[in-house]
Amino acid sequence: MADSMPDVVRRKPDWMAKLEREFTIGKEDLAGIAKDMLAKMEVGLARENTEMKMLASFVRKRPTGHEVGTVYALDFGGTNFRVCQLDLTDDASGYRFHAVKFKIPEELKLAPGEKLFDFFADSVNSFLNQQGITLTAPGAVPDLREQLKKAKLGFTFSFPIQQLALDKGILLQWNKGFNNPGVVGSDVVELLHHAFDRKGIPFRVTALVNDTVGTLLANGYKNPNTTVGAIIGTGTNAAYWESVDRIRKWTGDKSGDMVVNTEWGAFTPQARLLTTYDKRLDDESINPGMQVFEKMISGRYIGEIVRLILVDLHSRGHILTNVPRLPAKLTTPYEFDTEYLSRLAVEQVQTSSPYPIVQQVMAEVGVQVLEDDRRKILEIAELVALRSARISVAGVAALILQQKLTQGTTVAVDGSVYELYPRYKQHMEATLVELLGTVTGPAVTLELGKDGSGIGAAVIAALG
């Protein structure tokens, strides 16, 4: 009977109303997040070892769009390692980009650092082999080794790095489920070069780059009006152009601008904004108390939040009452991938629907979902994803305000959540208007910075 009841008279269960209240962050609270973040950014610009790390990138040159030549980039994000080649041309197309993706095996995420770097070196070898280049074979051309040795090579390492120079930087902490011993505190460029030496690869890194910095520069190459680069993927973070005299901890030349990597994922919002599920996820994670903002936003975590909610509601007899034992994908931490959320949300919450896609996706997860529960699952996924989009905008707003812009600007965003979660961009846009206003504030345009981390690292390497 319940299923044929028109929606208007279908009463929302109390537990759903409570969930909605907990996951809905209103305009005032978003403005509060932006304000707190701005204050913490100021502290991070003044000192080391702060919550918002505000890391100097050593990138001070803006691309003109007229750079030419072949440059390479290695892109280590979290899910994949990509080997990229970028041919910069002076024609209208700007560049040709070619990349080969190597999925990082799950077991490498906790393996000794050497193993991870060996995997990178092996991937570079496979890439070169695919291009018909064999470096180790008898008779391999020595000239070619010399050529590669001199090539410009960007290395995107998407974790917090304290840069000591453009081509040198120390890993401060692991995130996104990685915890390889022997890397924190070391120069990741040196570790990569050691792996290259073990595997006979002549390449040498000329620029070490965070993915947000890469995204900002790659977009700036096409659109000089870009002032922020953000990633909302496995992890989340943003970088922006700052005037060097405001980076108080910077002891070098104070003239001009420099890109600052904010590491906003480490921002901790006020505790009252966290739900019991956020707290549980954090407590049970490998880095409790760290990356709290990231844990509310990014792809590594939002599927897990939904999983925790579903398991809890099931144990309290509110949903999936037809399923006596939940399948492994719902009982095992991190098995309910954020990709499922993106697939569920292809369907929109409607007044009346049998929700065939929800049924199909959840069948893959291992449960037969009754019609009434399908809508609830979709609503829960939407609540978590919408909160993610909204609070990431609070971060964007903080960066826009920090820059004291007087005219409109472009924010380049890349990452699987932003790109693949249906309507994520629209949710962000609506929240931007809500937060910054259309009349008083500068117009902010969001642009997909596709492949920005790889392209940007190559552009930065080209700039030298």
Q: DSSP state, 316?
A: T
58, 76, 127, 159: which one contacts ligand BGC (CB under 6 A)?
Answer: 159
Candidates 85, 210, 219, 275: give the one binding ligand BGC (CB under 6 A).
210
Q: How many residues bind ligand BGC (CB under 6 A)?
A: 18
Nearer to ligand BGC, 218 or 361 (CB): 218
Going across the sheet that includes 226-232, the strands are 55-56, 257-261, 236-243, 226-232, 409-414, 444-448
User: Are the CB atoms for 392 and 236 separated by under 8 Å?
Assistant: yes
Contact flag: residue 156 with ligand BGC (CB under 6 A): no
d(CA 140, CA 137): 5
Q: How far apart are CA 140 and CA 134, in angstroms?
A: 6
44 vs 265, which CB is nearer to ligand BGC?
Answer: 265
Half-sphere exposure of 132 (CA within 13 A, CB side): 0
Q: Residue 78 in contact with residue 233, Cβ under 8 Å?
A: yes
Question: Is 49 or 351 the residue whose CB approaches ligand BGC more closely?
Answer: 49
| Site track for ligand BGC across 38-77, x = CB under 6 A | ---------------------------------------x
Q: Is 237 in the site for ligand BGC (CB under 6 A)?
A: yes
For ligand BGC, the closer CB: 382 or 451: 451
CA atoms within 13 A of residue 199's CA, in its CB half-sphere: 22
CB of 291 to ligand BGC, least distance (A): 6
285 binds ligand BGC per the rule CB under 6 A? no
Is residue 228 a contact point for ligand BGC (CB under 6 A)?
Answer: no
Residue written as token pair 């009463």: 11
Binding ligand BGC (rule: CB under 6 A), the pick from 94, 160, 395, 452 is 160
* Sheet with 207-209: strands ordered across: 95-103, 80-88, 69-76, 153-157, 207-209
State the minimum distance, in angstroms, from the CB of residue 161 to ligand BGC.
7
**206 binds ligand BGC, rule: CB under 6 A:** no
Task: Rank residues 85 and 175 by Cβ distance to ligand BGC and give the closer one.
Answer: 175
Tell me the two tokens of residue 331: 């009982």
| Residue 236 binding ligand BGC, by CB under 6 A | yes
Q: Which is nearer to ligand BGC, 77 or 449 (CB)?
A: 77
Whole-Å CA distances, 82 to 75, 111, 120, 258, 277: 5, 19, 9, 26, 34
In contact, 44 and 247? CB cutoff 8 Å: no
* Look-up of token digits 């209103």: 26
> Two tokens at 157?
């390492």
List the interface residues with ligand BGC, window 166-195 (CB under 6 A).
175-176
Q: Which residues belong to the active site?
A: 82, 158, 211
Q: Which residues bind ligand BGC (CB under 6 A)?
A: 77-78, 158-160, 175-176, 210-212, 231, 233, 235-237, 263, 265, 294
